[in-house]
Copies of this chain bind each other. A is one copy, B any other.
Amino acid sequence: MYRVLYPLRTYLIISGNKEKANIMTADWVVPLSFKPFLLGVAISPKRFSHGLIEKYKEFVVAVPSVEMLKDVWIAGTRSGYEKLKEMNITFVDSKKVSTPSIAEALANIECKLINKIKTGDHDFFIGEVVNVSYDKEFFEKGKPNIKKKPLAHIGENEFVSFEEKIYKA
């Protein structure tokens, strides 16, 4: 029944450090505060990334486009570092955390873990955003450009992006 809230945006969560990083897919990501800029990510304790975030107390939320669909799917369905060999992503240094960013992503949001709350079968990691880098064609004048096709998840292996028509209230 939780899919009644879908489609939800899909993001990539990077954990670990410069020497060894992992990537998972997450739909359960939410802004939590303007000032400070906080966001939350719900992650199952079963996920490999869960332990890495607990260990390094940092993570990066990367914003994929439709072009990264294959990588999003591999990151979301397979566990452990081995999957990275089949993905077409390039790790680049982040600015304020040692967890790397993803060069191909529309944006990379660098977070320092400030709290973790148990929520049912998941843990909710709350991060303070310490740096944001982005593709200037995607994020212009404080607004996302939907023509760059940010990705959303319908369910299972089905994804979608946004129509170009903008409705003005």
A→B interface (CB under 8 Å):
1-9, 11, 27-40, 42, 61, 63, 66, 69-70, 72-73, 107, 109, 115, 117, 119-122, 124, 126, 129, 132, 134, 139, 142-144, 146, 150-152, 154-169
A163 touches B160 (CB 8 A): yes
Neighbour of A7 across the interface among B27, B66, B121, B150, CB < 8 A: B150
> Assembly of this chain: how many copies?
2
B4 touches A139 (CB 8 A): yes
Q: Which residue of B has the minimal Cβ distance to A167?
A: B159
In the assembled complex, the CB of A130 is this many whole angstroms from the nearest CB of chain B, namely 11
A33 touches B42 (CB 8 A): yes
In the assembled complex, the CB of A63 is this many whole angstroms from the nearest CB of chain B, namely 7
